[in-house]
Amino acid sequence: GESVGLHLPTLSVQEGDNSIINCAYSNSASDYFIWYKQESGKGPQFIIDIRSNMDKRQGQRVTVLLNKTVKHLSLQIAATQPGDSAVYFCAENRSSGGSYIPTFGRGTSLIVHP
């Protein structure tokens, strides 16, 4: 079946480095993607989104890249800080009766060392 998955379950970086978290998706009909951050003991929080008519979108210190050819999504975090330590999920949104139903990947744990 169609699925969303992550290549790396854990990513360790040094403070100040750039981080890249990857996500593969297999549903070619998905046209809206979101990255969420989940800190320990909390629910996931929206970071950034991208629609399939774009290949790059930038936010504050974060950039999402979308490669539809290989069905790949990445989240880049610039100058990673200890507060960025969390689990990051990508979610693909597929249309269902005109609305979108999200499917989440397994998540990548980002550990930032001071």
Partner 1 sequence: DADVTQTPRNRITKTGKRIMLECSQTKGHDRMYWYRQDPGLGLRLIYYSFDVKDINKGEISDGYSVSRQAQAKFSLSLESAIPNQTALYFCATSDLRETQYFGPGTRLLVL
Q: Give the per-residue contact string, 18-57, with partner 1 (x = CB under 8 A; - = no).
A: --------------x-x-x----xxxxxx--x--------
Minimum CB separation of residue 9 from partner 1 in Å reads 8
Give kind and range of the element (H or E) at residue 58. Answer: strand 56-58
User: Residue type at 27?
Assistant: N
Total of chain residues touching partner 1, rule CB under 8 A = 23
Q: Count Cβ atoms below 10 Å from residue 30 Cβ, excluding itself.
A: 22
Please give the residues from 82 up to 111 whose contact with partner 1 meets the rule CB under 8 A. 89, 91, 93, 99-107
Nearer to partner 1, 77 or 91 (CB): 91
Nearer to partner 1, 74 or 103 (CB): 103
Nearer to partner 1, 41 or 114 (CB): 41
Q: Is-contact 58 90, C-beta < 8 A?
A: no
Per-residue buried b or exposed e for 67-96, using 16+ beta carbons within 10 Å of the residue's own CB: eeeebebbbbbeebeeebbbbbbbbbbbee
Cα 81 to Cα 70: distance, rounded to the nearest angstrom: 30
Binding residues vs partner 1 (CB under 8 A):
9, 32, 34, 36, 41-46, 49, 89, 91, 93, 99-107
